[in-house]
Homo-oligomer: A and B are copies of this chain.
């Protein structure tokens, strides 16, 4: 299910929040005839955190603001690197172990820019986009990063 979607008129970027990430569509979103390199980062649900078994995760977002922040990051990246295609997709809702949670994809003429922009975007997304992750352990739940 598509929750929100913004697509620039030039089709350069795909930025959206979804309940399920479809990895099979990603390559099509990143293909460009001038592209020589694509870097794709996929964040996934790990089965443990701080030594404890994780059963599942819940993601909550301040959706309109999250999309605005994702757009800002895309604009920043596009100013720093010659990007041909850009994808930022984050999942919301309940995710189980192994599920993709976030996908960042960059296509550029040369691989260096793709790696750098991809790394920049995932680091910045984690620092600025208002999305919250709750871990379900066997004996409790916990909002990640909430407390020191």
A: residues with CB less than 8 A from B are 23-24, 27, 31-48, 97-98, 100, 107, 109, 111, 114-115, 118-119, 122
Contact = CB atoms under 8 A, between A and B. Distances in A.
Contacts of A111: 41, 43, 122
Contacts of A37: 41-44
Nearest to A48: B34
Nearest to A30: B42
The prevalent SS among residues of A at the interface is mixed
A44 B33 CA distance: 9
A100 B28 CA distance: 11
Contacts of A45: 36
Nearest to A37: B43
Contact of A97 (B33, B39, B98): B33
A109 B43 CA distance: 10
A45 to B, nearest CB: 8
Nearest to A49: B36
Given A33-B97, A47-B33, A98-B31, A41 B38 contact: yes
B33 A46 contact: yes
B41 A42 contact: no
Contacts of A36: 43-46
Contacts of A42: 27, 37-40
A143 B65 CA distance: 50
